[in-house]
Amino acid sequence: MAEKERTAKAKVEPKIVFQRPRALEDAPFTYCPGCAHGIVHRIIAECLDEMDIEGKTIAVIPVGCAVIADNFFSCDVIQASHGRAPAVSTAVKRVLPENLVFAYQGDGDLASIGMAETIHAATRGEKITVIFINNAIYGMTGGQLAPTTLPNQVTQTSPYGRDVVEAGYPIRVSEMLATLDGVALIERVTVDTPKHVRAAKKAIKKAFQYQMDNVGYSLIEVVSTCPTNWGMTPQDSFAWMRENMLPYYPLGTYRDVVAEGFADVGEAARAKVADCPIAYKGDK
Amino acid sequence: MSEKVLMKGNEALAESALRAGCRFFFGYPITPQTELAAYMSKRMPKEGGTFLQAESEIAAINMVYGASAAGARVMTSSSSPGISLKGEGISYMAGADLPGVIINIQRGGPGLGGIQPSQADYAQATHALGHGDLHVIVYAPSTVQEMADCAYSAFDVADKYRTPVMILADGMLGQMMEPVVLPEPKNTAPEKPWATVGHNHARPHNIVNSLFLSADKLEGKIKERFERYEVIKRDEPRAENFMTDDAEIVVMAFGASARIARSAVVSAREAGIKAGLIRPITLWPFPAFAIEETIATAKSYLSVEMNMGQMVDDIRLVVAGRAPVEFFGHTGGVIPTPQEVLAKIEAMHEAIGGKAAEAAAALTGGKAGA
């Protein structure tokens, strides 16, 4: 009887419950332990798999730790100069309007050197998606003050803590971009727990879907960690992030024009300017 | 054959680029290239193309980078201060082997300089258009017709060698109107199997990238690119030699200053001076061959430029001490007159012995003092 059972069991096809997404290369991540890049790369790849769109995708990668992301994403990849990923993505999408184009940027890349490109791609309503990794520090260059470094946070170039009188205040990118008419979707997420990872993936997938539906510009901000440059263990860094970053950068949806009842950013923008004849001109 | 039309140089560049199959233009307003972007903004939508006024010169060149990576024929235009801002993007394009056409309608510098015509970006264009070991093919048209011709062929050359190409003109050429025969529309863009257009699971993923963290790999990449530069230096140098067959005083000038130098050379000939003009059409690769063709008869060379003397250094490198090389020019937007250039030629003629030397040469049947 026991023998019979074992034989029957052996005949059952193995069920795959977890595997590498097709949209990731067969390469181990070389990011630091406790860094969120690996998690975010993976959920992006899962979205590409589930939407069956990897073959039509162009990733535009930044200067920063993710400059090596072409080692991991299986789709076509363009490495952009520092901060210019939104400008590069803009042009790629204009040339290839049927394709999925996403930019992957950190806080220094996106909110410091590339702020002009960020704001203008958003306000133009470019049909691109930006994945914004906010870990409040420059990772690759060794931990300098970033535009999102918290007040009093110690970094290599704010050794006494960020003095807001000298260095100014951190930028809340999602809140700021949400005011722009070209923006279809802005969500701030994190990836510290399975629940949050699932929510982050849902947000990214929605952003990709909005892009393919021509709704407008989308940005998903992922509040992340940098254990190496924060000088913490991976676990401590996530605890520090929850304690200090999430109050300053609250999770949530900052803009969703579809949820607001509009088909796209054009419709949403026109609804605001009914009493401005030139802006309201025309049927569309 | 198309009919002749009267056009500004800036407009001819734009129309010719369209006829070469360019459907993507990214730019930022700056004088004196204004008409080019305005023309593109009018025509691109009618051709199903994209005109996008970028938030900055930096964004514009990075849009060129992106559109080129996606396989499109793409162009941007600017003027001197704006070209400095594009330098980083041009370096990235060179480093990623991306074709694209960049127009510089030069004005006075440094800094904000002025808005009058200038050739003060010669050294930047030919020697240091961006950081790193790189070259960009640089054309220097001197008529509106040649601007149209250069814009028409620049895209093919850029695609052939996978390199950025610059057309270096100036505010005078950009703004002046001349009759031009526009080329026929063509669609000669080659297949670009390297472009990042989505792999559709039909090939390994393409990567457009200028980062090579291994020093050996980076050196290898650059050496491979420099082998391509050698082919460019062999096949692409272009120059027009005018009245140089027996020239003793060889004037060298490009673009707008070549128009002035040509008048001066004609006047010098009328005055009995054996003067000639070499007009480089490519500034990089530098047309050394055109100098070699004149070296047997040349007693001295004169570089005429609208700057403080930049191309003159490249002439000296080629002449390599075989004859004196002098410079005459104005800068800051001041345009040299043919009379001034003629006076310089006459002075040089005197210095090499003038009429006495000619008589001696006639007697000995050779090169006086050679």
Task: Please name each of the domains of chain B with its CATH number.
Answer: 4-235 (3.40.50.970), 240-364 (3.40.50.920)
What mean pLDDT is predicted for residues B323-335? Answer: 97
pLDDT of residue B370: 35
The burial class, CB within 10 Å (0-12 / 13-18 / 19+), for A93 is buried
Residue B368 banded pLDDT, cuts 50, 70, 90 = very low
Residue B287 banded pLDDT, cuts 50, 70, 90 = very high
**Which one-letter amino acid corresponds to residue B127?**
H
What span, in angstroms and rounded, lies between the C-alpha atoms of A69 and A74? 10
Q: What is the DSSP letter of A264?
A: S
What mean pLDDT is predicted for residues A25-53? Answer: 97
Contact B211 A67 (CB under 8 A): yes
Q: Searching chain B, which residue's CA lies closest to the CA of residue A116? A: B55
- At A173, which helix (H) or strand (E)? helix A173-177
pTM of the model: 0.95
Using a CB-CB cut-off of 8 Å, the residues of chain B touching A119 are: 55
pLDDT of residue B3: 87
What span, in angstroms and rounded, lies between the C-alpha atoms of A166 and A191? 32
Using a CB-CB cut-off of 8 Å, the residues of chain B touching A117 are: 55, 58-59, 62
Contact B209 A70 (CB under 8 A): yes
Q: Searching chain A, which residue's CA lies closest to the CA of residue B91? A: A81
pLDDT-above-70 percentage for chain A: 95
pLDDT at B362 over 90: no
What span, in angstroms and rounded, lies between the C-alpha atoms of B283 and B136? 10
B70 touches chain A (CB under 8 A): yes
User: Of the given ranges (A118-132, B273-287, B354-368), which has the lowest mean pLDDT?
Assistant: B354-368
Cβ(B25)–Cβ(B44) below 8 Å = yes
Q: Searching chain A, which residue's CA lies closest to the CA of residue B71? A: A95
pLDDT at B81 over 50: yes
pLDDT of residue B107: 97
B104-157 confidence digits (pLDDT tens): 999 999 999 999 999 999 999 999 999 999 999 999 999 999 999 999 999 999
Q: Nearest Cβ partner of A76 from B72, B92, B198?
A: B198
Using a CB-CB cut-off of 8 Å, the residues of chain B touching A89 are: 66
Q: Write down all domains in chain A, each with its CATH number in brackets.
A: 29-280 (3.40.50.970)
Q: Searching chain B, which residue's CA lies closest to the CA of residue A89? A: B66
Cβ(A236)–Cβ(A226) below 8 Å = no
Please compute Rg for chain A using Cα positions: 21
Does a cis peptide bond (omega within 30 degrees of 0) precede residue B110? yes
What span, in angstroms and rounded, lies between the C-alpha atoms of A250 and A122? 21
A157-172 confidence digits (pLDDT tens): 999 999 999 999 999 9
Short-list B347, B341, B239, CA closest to B294: B239
A187 touches chain B (CB under 8 A): no
pLDDT of residue A133: 98
**Pair type for strands A57-61 and B249-252:** unpaired
pLDDT at A100 over 60: yes
What span, in angstroms and rounded, lies between the C-alpha atoms of A118 and B206? 25
pLDDT at B20 over 80: yes
Cβ(B267)–Cβ(B276) below 8 Å = no
Q: CA A268, A272, A277, A283: dihedral to nearest 10 degrees? A: 20
pLDDT of residue B363: 60
Cβ(B286)–Cβ(B315) below 8 Å = no
B188-219 confidence digits (pLDDT tens): 899 999 999 999 999 999 999 999 999 999 99
pLDDT of residue B17: 98
What mean pLDDT is predicted for residues B8-13? Answer: 98
CA angle in degrees (0–180, nearest 5) for B78-A180-A129: 75
Q: How many Å lie between the alpha carbon of B67 and the closest alpha carbon of chain A?
A: 5
**Average pLDDT of the residues of chain A:** 95
Between chain A and chain B, the number of residue pairs with CB atoms below 8 A apart is 124
Cβ(A120)–Cβ(B59) below 8 Å = yes
Question: ipTM of the predicted structure?
Answer: 0.94
Within 10 angstroms of residue B129's Cβ, the number of other Cβ atoms is: 26
Question: What values do phi and psi take at A114, rounded to 5?
Answer: -105, 20
